Structure 1
Amino acid sequence: MTTPLRTLLQRHVDEGTLPGAVALIARGDRIQVEAVGAATLGSGPAMARDTLFRIASITKPVMAAAVLMLIEDGRIGLDDPVARWLPELEKPQVVRTPDAPLADTVPAVRPITVRMLLDFTAGYGFSSDFTHPATGPLFGALRQGPPRPQEVAALDAWMAALARIPLLHQPGETWLYNTCSELQGVLVERVTGGPLDAFLAERIFEPLGMKDTGFCVPAADLGRFASYYRTGTEGFELVDAPDGQWSTRPAFLSGAGGLVSTVDDWHAFARLLLADGVTDDGRRLLSGASVRAMRTDQLTAAQRVGSDLFLEGQSWGYGGAIDLDASRQGSLPGRYGWVGGTGTCAHLTPATGRVGILLTQVEVGGPTPATLLHEFWELTNETFATDEG
């Protein structure tokens, strides 16, 4: 039987919106998965349930969970200044105004804390105006923006470059996108003294059975790895092939957008969040309080000023956005999740137990999600609706 989900994905493939996609919609034990189209144009394989994708910014919720684990371990505190582990950020400078030249700075009036990294108010990042002088170096020296893992400097060199860039806003004052997730990854490495991928594997991926999630794809699995495209003037342009930038482990492991995964792996992580930190087999990985903090609005209205290009009226928890009301297309109050610039999205709604994961391989042209994502969110809300009587 052809499902509405398959019909939606096939329509976009037929219309040339994307070469292929894999999507999962679940509510409790009911799961629907559809794979359509091609993983690689031409002679490449068809999409399959276990196709691997560059998941981009839906890495961020995983990264936030890792930081919260360190807090629960007692190794860091939510309001601890991060300079203890990130000495490069001990005395940050802040541009006098967002439009000020890089040399026109004032000292930060307060230290950057772990909480500020989690809620994205540390002062590093970007929002509605990409022309600010302090924003440009983030895309240049630090390779923020579309992921290019093999072009990013190793951790210590990356941090040294960041330390030369002033903050765009005073710590704690304004939500800014992306860079704080990178700093979360650096924090985990500095606190534990080991690589980020090892910590994530031990504490999250292995307990959840996320066997296909990591920062690169082993050679034996490259046949399952989708190519990555952007839409050009004459159709799809190849950005990265399966044997490209994710085929070897990068020097810098990006907590903001570096992971490769599958729909079933991310669904395992979503089930952990819906179960307040308990795995399917009853092991507790996170406290209920930490998981609820991830899924709770952490921002004031003043901190959200200027964020609409990314948040579109949503707010931010830890690692993902929070829908505050149902005014957005396809949204529900309390829905938590995020989208990725490589054409991915993953959301869960605790009130209904719903999960929606859509993985495509076409770069999103801007921070505002494309039509397909909005259509997918609406369909997620409608699927299994008879279960909610």
Structure 2
Amino acid sequence: MDKLVMATAAGGIGLNSVRSAPLPESTADEVGVSPQRLAKLDEFFAREITSKRVPGAVIAIARDGKLIHYKAYGQLDPVKGRPMRLDAIFALASMTKPMVAVAGLILMEQGRLPLRARLADYYPEFANMKVGVPQHDGSLEFQTQNVAIYIHDLYRQTSGLTYGAPADSSDQVARLYPDFAAPPLRDDKQAFIEAITKLPLAHQPGTAFEYGFSTDVLGAVVEQVSEQRLGAYLASNLWKPIEMQDATFHLSQSQRGRLAHPFPGDPLTGKPQQIELLESEPKFDGGGACAFATVGDYLRFGQMLLNGGELGGERILGPRTVRHMISNHLGPGIKNKVANVEAHRAGFGFGLGVAVRTTEGLSAVPGNPGEFTWTGAYGTQFFCDPKERLVAVVGTAAPGEIRKYYREQVQYMVYAAIIR
């Protein structure tokens, strides 16, 4: 095994830590997980890092609320040759979305943000958007928005807002949208709202799952209702109460020294790659893609949800609110396109900010109905399985297509290690 990989793979529970473990510790055996099978993760990342397919990773796994695997692998910064550390900070990309969903649900529980509230009540610009309907000749016909966008649509990605696509994409509406990470880096919040409401919706609201800027808009609504900046609201109502110590939209100088960096070139294509957010301060707290955290922080977030909204004596949400959040909200009248975003998510619907497994089989990865999950475009992943009492979080800096490979492989190995 490569010396660097060996050294950092040893940096697990009780080692290489600058703070206490994110959850109480246990051995894998005690909670029905085979340590020999779990060690396949070490072998897998040793191979991948030696082959220079990923610079490094941090993996945390908990079962029955006990931390059973917590290890750092490879390099934090492959250019500077710095080893990965357990307190590495990852750009979460879309794993920001479940946290913003919780922020909105806290307000819902207070009677301040109903799911059936109209988005236009908070931002009137959304009242009369057009819907882009592709025509056979390659043109777009712009139809009138015939139903309101509700706050519910923002959670479940049914608002009709989409993400951008390259100029050679066949998706005519998406070609009109900016890159998913660009608006918070380029515009302030009001400029973003004004720009996006001038674009067409991809569908009539409430008719199809269409992955896009819905959660960025939800974050803006949270700001409007709470009269706080999104990061400040999350800090006081979620991050600090459950001790997510490094969760933030705005990094301190000391935190920047712990940022996980990708390879300068995509290992699959050789083309240059970067995570722009690592170098550029966002102009607003983009609720869809712009937060940072450690893997340990996010493990606490996942465990809080698995516990029904409580962790360490701090209740964030009521158990029935969490149950509602992690239920499928894509009813029979809504086109389910979750597997268009992640091909291995066949058999999944979508809840309030998370994908939700609805059936046995179909998916390319093992799991149980009721599993809830989401990932980030820069290489992060989390999944929670209530039936298995399981939470797993993966941090890598892998913004290319290879990130999808790690999502599947890690889930294979985690479930393979559960023996009772």
1:329 matched to which residue of 2?
Answer: 364
The answer as to 2:76 corresponding to 1:39 is yes
Cα drift, residue 163 of structure 1: 1.1
Cα drift, residue 363 of structure 1: 0.9
1:244-259 equivalences in 2 (<5 Å): 245-246=277-278, 249-259=281-291
The answer as to 2:417 corresponding to 1:356 is no
| 2:165–2:175 contact (8 Å) kept in structure 1 | no
- Output one character per residue of 1:52-82: Cα deviation in whole Å (capped at 9) or x when no partner: 1111111111111111111111112110111
The answer as to 2:213 corresponding to 1:179 is yes
1:138 matched to which residue of 2?
Answer: 177
SS at match of 2:177: helix
**One-letter identity of the residue aligned with 2:155:** L
- Output one character per residue of 1:104-133: Cα deviation in whole Å (capped at 9) or x when no partner: 322211111111111111111159995333
2:6 matched to which residue of 1?
Answer: none
- CA 193–382 in structure 1, closer or farther in 2 if over 3 Å, else same: same
Cα drift, residue 85 of structure 1: 0.6
TM-score (norm 2): 0.83
| 1:128–1:308 contact (8 Å) kept in structure 2 | no
TM-score (norm 1): 0.89
- Output one character per residue of 1:304-350: Cα deviation in whole Å (capped at 9) or x when no partner: 34443214312111111112223323331221111111111111101
Counterpart Cα distance in 2 of 1:87 and 1:273: 33
| 2:164–2:177 contact (8 Å) kept in structure 1 | no
Counterpart Cα distance in 1 of 2:199 and 2:357: 32
2:305 pairs with one of 273, 278, 282 = 273
SS at match of 2:321: helix
Counterpart Cα distance in 2 of 1:78 and 1:127: 26
- CA 102–135 in structure 1, closer or farther in 2 if over 3 Å, else same: farther
- Output one character per residue of 1:29-60: Cα deviation in whole Å (capped at 9) or x when no partner: 14201111111114332001101111111111
- Output one character per residue of 1:202-253: Cα deviation in whole Å (capped at 9) or x when no partner: 111000101111113210122211113451577584514xxx7446642121
Cα drift, residue 97 of structure 1: 4.4
1:309 matched to which residue of 2?
Answer: 340
Cα drift, residue 91 of structure 1: 1.7
Higher deviation after alignment, 153-162 or 324-333? 324-333
1:285 pairs with one of 287, 294, 316 = 316
- Output one character per residue of 1:176-226: Cα deviation in whole Å (capped at 9) or x when no partner: 002111111111112222211100101110001011111132101222111
- CA 246–4 in structure 1, closer or farther in 2 if over 3 Å, else same: same
**One-letter identity of the residue aligned with 2:361:** A
| 2:189–2:220 contact (8 Å) kept in structure 1 | yes
Cα drift, residue 102 of structure 1: 8.1
| 1:58–1:337 contact (8 Å) kept in structure 2 | no
SS at match of 1:261: strand
Counterpart Cα distance in 2 of 1:342 and 1:378: 20
1:215 matched to which residue of 2?
Answer: 249
RMSD: 2.5
2:143 matched to which residue of 1?
Answer: 106
- CA 92–42 in structure 1, closer or farther in 2 if over 3 Å, else same: closer
- CA 305–205 in structure 1, closer or farther in 2 if over 3 Å, else same: closer
1:295 pairs with one of 295, 307, 326 = 326
| 1:216–1:247 contact (8 Å) kept in structure 2 | no
The answer as to 2:108 corresponding to 1:71 is yes
SS at match of 1:224: coil
Cα drift, residue 269 of structure 1: 0.3
Counterpart Cα distance in 2 of 1:102 and 1:91: 21
1:91 matched to which residue of 2?
Answer: 128
Q: Tell me the percent identity.
A: 25
Counterpart Cα distance in 1 of 2:336 and 2:355: 15
2:42 matched to which residue of 1?
Answer: 6
| 1:128–1:307 contact (8 Å) kept in structure 2 | no
| 1:121–1:176 contact (8 Å) kept in structure 2 | yes
SS at match of 2:72: strand
Q: How many residues align?
A: 375
Counterpart Cα distance in 2 of 1:153 and 1:56: 17
**One-letter identity of the residue aligned with 1:353:** R
1:134-213 equivalences in 2 (<5 Å): 134-139=173-178, 143-144=179-180, 147-148=181-182, 151-213=185-247
- CA 94–10 in structure 1, closer or farther in 2 if over 3 Å, else same: same
| 2:162–2:177 contact (8 Å) kept in structure 1 | yes
SS at match of 2:131: strand
| 1:203–1:285 contact (8 Å) kept in structure 2 | yes
Gaps of 5+ in 1: none
SS at match of 2:107: helix
Gaps of 5+ in 2: 1-9, 11-35
| 1:217–1:248 contact (8 Å) kept in structure 2 | no
Counterpart Cα distance in 2 of 1:99 and 1:138: 21
